């Protein structure tokens, strides 16, 4: 490890039964020894609290410790994450093991940080959670009358007269009342936030000066409000597996890790870590393809390009036992260094010289995409159309910007929008007064705002608003939605751009969802071409103070969003970090006017990149002029000549 340039190792995140083999009987000797050996080689340690994998003796105590699934079945022992996050007995046991570890290692000079639990997730629907949900509701709404009113329990005779009549959602009563469903999702998210907080409190007290993190699951994980989970942590970390058993039938898509990196950086607007970076072919019962030579290094650099200040590979040596025998580490089962080790060792040597350039430099976004967990949760209950997929729509918009080499943040809808010139609100389905006000302020102060179809439909109790859509955003957008049309899978319409502002005369396909807009002050940018609403507005632009609000009533793909986003970037005055070369990923970390340009080639053949000026390639110190060729699965890191001197 030391030879390959490793400086940090994460340990013990699933080691509960090894640390406490029997209740109250602790054994730290083996871990002390591991930490000492690492210290002797200059390698620091992040310790995981082991609460994601309770030992059998604990779970044998009480069947109610196990989580209950939406269909009412209880999880059995045998994997991990079996526990109910609200179970008082589990919380106590978790506090005990964390206190004990923190007492033993809290001041250890070689322990620099803590990872709490491992990949929080999975909703629990057990009776203990249901009772905790009632308390959560009392806190939020005060009275049962208010709950009845906000949820509209008059419908189908659901009026509650006692808190304990309120059920958890169940697949046998699906879909639930939308108010109940959304609040239950929020409650489940909060349950992990409070579970985590109990550990944060212990670690803050017993292990001062060490950072506290958790390993998140990137953009695509949609069951926890990650802004909330990140709020009280010092650092966001996440687990990055671009290619494994579960996506082996899809083409490798570097946009997906890019989107997750940007999301993770945005949660705290801070540098993040990758706590698990793919180290080899990966799977449980099956195996994804072996990452081609160069990929592991390239994926790790991609993280750094997007703002990671730490990358920890998972795992060091492939396990010969357990459910993850197929999840390959840097070393194979036999433990001898091979091709993957050499690739990572090369990177270790490079990082030694690179770190001084990376310090303090971060991606600086002028474009924000709103990431609304309320909208995501709401759409999990009512999707409207088989193809209306919140995650896929955000991804589609992100992909266009990523290919244009535009730096993007993912922002909470009530977050600070002042750093941005362009804000995109994809399917902002649930809109509170606060969020509407935030968007209005942004546009009035000169921002450019894009709002897409299915926005402003629900209030924050998941009721459909009573005014014409897009509800609280209608005035801001200068339109009302006259009608909407949910298109059957495979059916399409098309829109024609009718304004010089927007690729005049071009057409684009619309699918999934078409809204017929009635301008109310806004100008028309595009019209539908087919069906009974042919000739009616599909995209509009409203001018508001110094800003512009664009409403896109049709959903579609690249040919719809690419011209639209290009015009928006221009109007907003946002320059991409590079122009052209759309088959390369180009990302910038900057500090003041110093810029580091990462140019990544994710293809299996070499690509040329035409330079706008002269640079130094920091990876080999060589000056580069004119055109630089980037080998397959390789990259260059370019610094302007004067940056390099500095
Ligand atoms: C992550 C997890 C690791 C390991 C890896 C491979 O989700 O945090 O512990 O299980 O996946 O499955």
Tell me how far apart the alpha carbons of residues 243 and 281 are, in angstroms, rounded to a whole number.
Answer: 8
Tell me the Ramachandran region of residue 446: left when phi exceeds 0, alpha when psi lies from -120 to 50, beta otherwise.
Answer: left
Q: Where are the alpha helices (DSSP H) in 489-646?
A: 558-572, 641-645
Distance 276 CA to ligand 1 centre (A): 8
Residue among 273, 276, 319 to mutate when testing ligand 1 (max atoms within 8 A of CB): 276
Tell me how far apart the alpha carbons of residues 70 and 171 are, in angstroms, rounded to a whole number.
Answer: 6
Distance 412 CA to ligand 1 centre (A): 27
367-572 placed in CATH 3.40.50.300: no
Distance 320 CA to ligand 1 centre (A): 16
Mean per-residue pLDDT over the chain, rounded: 97
The percent of the chain in helix, strand and coil, each rounded to the nearest 5, is: 35, 25, 40
Residue 342 a catalytic site member: no
Tell me how far apart the alpha carbons of residues 88 and 448 are, in angstroms, rounded to a whole number.
Answer: 48
**Nearest-CA residue for atom 10 of ligand 1:** 324
Fold of 8-123+188-358: TIM Barrel (3.20.20)
Catalytic residue chosen out of the listed positions 13, 82, 119, 585: 119
Distance 119 CA to ligand 1 centre (A): 8
Choose among 394, 377, 401: nearest CA to 180.
Answer: 377
Q: pLDDT digit string (tens) for 202-226? A: 999 999 999 999 999 999 999 999 9
Distance 443 CA to ligand 1 centre (A): 42
The DSSP line for 401-465 is: HHHTT--EEEE-TTS--TT-SEEEETT--B--HHHHHHHHHHHHTT-EEEEETT-S-B-TTSPBP
Q: Prior bond to 175 cis, omega within 30?
A: yes
Note the pLDDT of residue 32: 98
Q: pLDDT digit string (tens) for 562-613? A: 999 999 999 999 999 999 899 999 999 998 888 999 999 999 999 999 998 9
Q: 367-572 and 585-645 share one CATH topology?
A: no
Residues in the chain predicted with pLDDT less than 70, given as ranges, are 641-646
Residue 570 a catalytic site member: no
Distance 313 CA to ligand 1 centre (A): 11
Fold of 585-645: Immunoglobulin-like (2.60.40)
Mention every residue, 6+ apart, whose C-beta is less than 8 A from residue 463: 150, 151, 152, 178, 179
CB under 6 Å to ligand 1: residues?
Answer: 118-119, 215, 239, 276, 314, 324, 327
Note the pLDDT of residue 10: 98
Nearest atom, ligand 1, residue 217 CA: 7
Distance 282 CA to ligand 1 centre (A): 10
Provide the residue ranges of all domains of the chain, joining segments of one domain with +.
8-123+188-358, 367-572, 585-645
Going by the DSSP 8-state scheme, the letter that residue 605 receives in this structure is S
Nearest atom, ligand 1, residue 327 CA: 6
Distance 240 CA to ligand 1 centre (A): 10
Catalytic residue chosen out of the listed positions 20, 276, 527, 588: 276
**Three-state secondary structure call for residue 395:** helix
**Nearest-CA residue for atom 1 of ligand 1:** 239
**Three-state secondary structure call for residue 249:** coil
């Amino acid at each position: 490890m030391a030879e390959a340039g490793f400086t940090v190792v994460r340990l013990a995140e699933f080691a509960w039964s090894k640390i406490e083999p029997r209740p109250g009987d602790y054994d730290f000797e083996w871990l002390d020894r591991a930490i000492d050996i690492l210290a002797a080689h200059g390698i620091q340690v992040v310790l995981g609290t082991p609460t994601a994998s309770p030992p059998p003796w604990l779970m044998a105590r009480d069947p109610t410790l196990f989580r209950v699934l939406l269909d009412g079945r209880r999880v059995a022992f045998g994997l991990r994450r079996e526990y109910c996050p609200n179970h008082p007995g589990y919380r106590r046991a978790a506090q005990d093991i964390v206190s004990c570890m923190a007492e033993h290692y809290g001041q250890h000079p070689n322990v620099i940080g803590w990872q709490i639990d491992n990949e929080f997730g999975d909703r629990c629907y057990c009776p203990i959670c249901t009772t905790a949900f009632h308390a959560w509701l009392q806190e939020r709404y005060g009275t049962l009358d208010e709950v009845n009113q906000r949820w509209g329990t008059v419908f189908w005779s659901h009026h509650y007269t006692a808190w304990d009549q309120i059920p958890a959602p169940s697949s046998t009563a699906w879909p639930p009342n939308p108010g109940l469903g959304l609040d239950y999702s929020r409650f489940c998210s909060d349950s992990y936030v409070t579970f985590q907080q109990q550990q944060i409190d212990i670690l803050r007290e017993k292990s001062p000066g060490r950072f506290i993190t958790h390993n998140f699951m990137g953009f695509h994980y949609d069951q926890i409000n990650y802004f909330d989970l990140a709020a009280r942590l010092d650092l966001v970390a996440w687990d990055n597996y671009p290619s494994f058993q579960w996506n082996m039938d899809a083409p490798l898509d570097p946009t997906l890790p890019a989107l997750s990196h940007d999301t993770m950086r945005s949660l705290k607007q801070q540098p993040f870590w990758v706590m698990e970076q793919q180290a080899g072919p990966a799977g449980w019962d099956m195996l994804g393809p072996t990452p081609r030579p160069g990929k592991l290094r390239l994926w790790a650099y991609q993280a750094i390009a997007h703002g990671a200040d730490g990358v920890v590979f998972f795992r060091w040596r492939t396990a010969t036992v357990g459910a993850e025998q197929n999840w390959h580490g840097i070393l194979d089962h036999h433990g001898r260094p091979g091709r993957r080790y050499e690739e990572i060792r090369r990177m270790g040597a490079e990082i030694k010289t690179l770190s001084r350039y990376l310090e303090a430099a971060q991606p600086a976004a002028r474009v924000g995409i709103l990431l609304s967990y309320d909208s995501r949760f709401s759409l999990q209950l009512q999707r409207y159309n088989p193809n209306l997929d919140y995650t896929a729509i955000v991804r589609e918009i992100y992909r266009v910007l990523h290919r244009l080499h535009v730096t993007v943040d993912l922002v909470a809808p009530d977050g600070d929008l002042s750093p941005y010139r362009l804000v995109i609100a994809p399917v902002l389905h649930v809109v509170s007064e606060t969020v509407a006000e935030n968007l209005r302020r942004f546009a009035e102060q000169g921002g450019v705002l894009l709002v897409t179809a299915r926005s402003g439909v629900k209030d924050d109790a998941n009721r459909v608003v009573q005014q014409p859509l897009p509800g609280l955003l209608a005035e801001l957008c200068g339109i009302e939605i006259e009608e909407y049309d949910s298109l059957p899978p495979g059916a399409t319409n098309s829109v024609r751009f009718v304004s010089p502002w927007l690729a005049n005369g071009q057409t684009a396909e619309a699918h999934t969802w078409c809204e017929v807009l009635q301008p109310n002050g806004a100008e028309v940018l595009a019209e539908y071409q087919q069906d009974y609403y042919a000739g009616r507005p599909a995209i509009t632009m409203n001018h508001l103070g110094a800003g512009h609000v664009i409403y896109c009533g049709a959903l579609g793909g690249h040919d719809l969003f690419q011209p639209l986003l290009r015009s928006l970037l221009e109007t907003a005055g946002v320059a991409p970090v590079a122009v052209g070369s759309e088959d390369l990923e180009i990302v910038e970390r900057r500090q003041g006017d110093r810029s580091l340009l990462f140019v990544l080639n994710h293809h299996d053949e070499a690509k040329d990149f035409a330079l706008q000026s002269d640079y130094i390639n920091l990876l080999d110190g060589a000056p580069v002029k004119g055109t630089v060729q980037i080998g397959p699965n390789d990259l260059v890191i370019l610094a302007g000549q004067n940056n390099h001197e500095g």
